[in-house]
Amino acid sequence: MRPIKVVALVLGCFSALIGIALLFASAFLSWGYFVQRDGGESTLPPEEFRTSSSALVSDNFDIFDSADSLDVLGVDNLGYVTLGATSRDPGTDVFVGIGPTEQVLGYLDDVAHARIDEVSFNPFRVNYDEVPGDRAASPPADEQFWSSSAAGPGAQELSWNLRDGSWTAVVMNADASPAVAVDLQLGAHLEFLGALTLAVLGAAVVFLLVGVPLIIIGAVAIGRHHAPPASTTATDPEWSGASGPRPVASAPYPTTLTGVIDQPLSRGLWLVKWLLLIPHYIVLVFLGVAFFVTTVASGFAILFSGRYPRGLFEFNVGVLRWAWRVQFYGYSALGTDRYPPFTLRRSDYPADFTVEYPEELSRGLVLVKWWLLAIPHYFVLALLAGGWYAGFYDADGDVTRPYLFSSLLGLLVLIVGLSLLFRNRYPNGLGDFIMGINRWAFRVAAYVALMRDEYPPFRLDQGPQEPNFDPVLPAPTEPDAGGHSDVNVDAVAGTSRSE
């Protein structure tokens, strides 16, 4: 295989990644545009801010208002922001203002105030950087440097046109007394948002138009190069047929996932496998982008021809095979200490995945099987191999920081890791159950990736290899000088290495 095809795939993945990121950015920008159209504005929910000092101060925000940039976007101004403040104490007047940063800092020099350092939502949290001071501030409304301000009882709101310079927002009690407690709400109307949305969307289309063809060209070439050679089957010495090997039994599903637990395994290697697998994770990010693009392209091919392009099929199977090896070595099984190979091909690695190539696929199913028909499996796999989410409530009934719990598969693999660490053994029977969960997940992955039309069964077929199935093995290559070939038949067939 020519290196230029690999280069095309890598460059295509880079370009497609940028295009996809810009596509999501344009979707976010378009949402903001439609929210604020017809003169409206985007607003954040009101939240409580308080300090025992004399003022709440925002971080500095720098704006560069370039006339040339505005002309390119076709707008006359940047837009405006609104800042509303309501005192938590009904008897206290509130002041809110925006002014040049340098003059605001001079006004608050040696005045105790709180700078809003970090704000997060869902749940709402705010961190303050308390700045000490001994001087009492003068009433803020008496100052003349404010670009926009509002003061008085009840709810106060300012509207400020965005302009170039460095600016700071300040919220105080109108009499500059300490102990500020207010509900604040920020809003914005950006005139350039529509034009910026179109510009980002256009850039996304350009990157995708460059990246997608490069990915398909590279994937087809790599898939053809990695297509399996002539196959051989396990033979039975008692088979008395007319000629050739004995027939292969039907698999319960036309995918084959194997994983033979190695014995013995290291006590502590599993603690650092996340670090050792970083190179594979990086490669799989790019392969994942290519997998998504080639699956979509194959979907259109199936829709119009009823066939999955063979080169793309072999490439996508190879990506799933690579991912399964990494998962078997890592935290979906902890089944081996042998480092996964960097290849899409089948090999003598103790974990393998294959899919039977379909000669014909349903044109109609391609439209619904990856989302509608697979929904029941998504629910089951969310419990077996997904993540469990939970949030905790404080005494006031507000949601505190959320916590992410592991799936059932994660808990089982954790038990395996602890058993290896303290007992130096893989728990009996647990590996078979873990293999069953992974086998279910990869059957569904092949189905939603449009590789097969047969609906995945709702069952855990446990064990190192597919039940009641004699796997078709790739023909071994010529042995090297030491008598070794690329394929270890025992490993692929699922024969245990040692006990």
pLDDT tens for 182-239 read: 999 999 988 888 888 999 999 999 999 999 999 999 999 999 887 765 444 433 333 3
Residue 468 CA: distances (Å) to CA of 245, 249, 262, 412, 464: 17, 7, 22, 26, 12
| pLDDT given for residue 480 in this prediction | 43
Q: Which of 162, 156, 137, 146 is nearest to 101 (CA)?
A: 146
Which comes out higher in pLDDT, residue 246 or 32?
32
| pLDDT given for residue 117 in this prediction | 87
How many CB atoms sit inside 10 A of residue 355's CB? Answer: 25
Q: Which residue has the tokens 């925006």?
A: 98
The residue type found at 151 is A
Q: For 406-435, write each residue's pLDDT tens digit.
A: 689 999 999 999 999 999 999 988 999 999
**Coil, helix or strand at residue 498:** coil
Contact between residue 307 and residue 362 where contact means Cβ atoms under 8 Å apart: no
How many CB atoms sit inside 10 A of residue 117's CB? Answer: 11
Q: For 138-182, write each residue's pLDDT tens digit.
A: 999 999 999 999 999 989 999 999 888 899 999 999 999 999 999
| pLDDT given for residue 116 in this prediction | 93
- Lowest-confidence region among 22-36, 275-289, 309-323, 415-429: 22-36
| pLDDT given for residue 435 in this prediction | 96
How many CB atoms sit inside 10 A of residue 427's CB? Answer: 15
Q: For 310-343, write each residue's pLDDT tens digit.
A: 999 999 999 999 999 999 999 999 999 999 999 9
3-state helix, strand, coil in the chain (%, to 5): 40, 20, 40
| pLDDT given for residue 221 in this prediction | 92
Q: Which two tokens stand for residue 74?
A: 């076709």
pLDDT over 90 for what percent of the chain? 67
Which domains does the chain show, CATH number per domain?
42-192 (2.60.120.380), 226-233+249-493 (no CATH)
| pLDDT given for residue 488 in this prediction | 43
Q: For residue 301, what is the enclosing H or E element?
A: helix 278-305
Mean pLDDT of the chain: 85
CA 363 to chain centre: 30
Contact between residue 213 and residue 11 where contact means Cβ atoms under 8 Å apart: no
| pLDDT given for residue 393 in this prediction | 56
CA distance 462 to 198: 51
- The whole-number average pLDDT for the span 370-374 is 95
Q: Which two tokens stand for residue 239?
A: 């088979």
Asked whether the predicted pLDDT for residue 484 surpasses 70, the reply is no
CA distance 357 to 254: 9
- Lowest-confidence region among 70-74, 395-399, 416-420, 454-458: 395-399
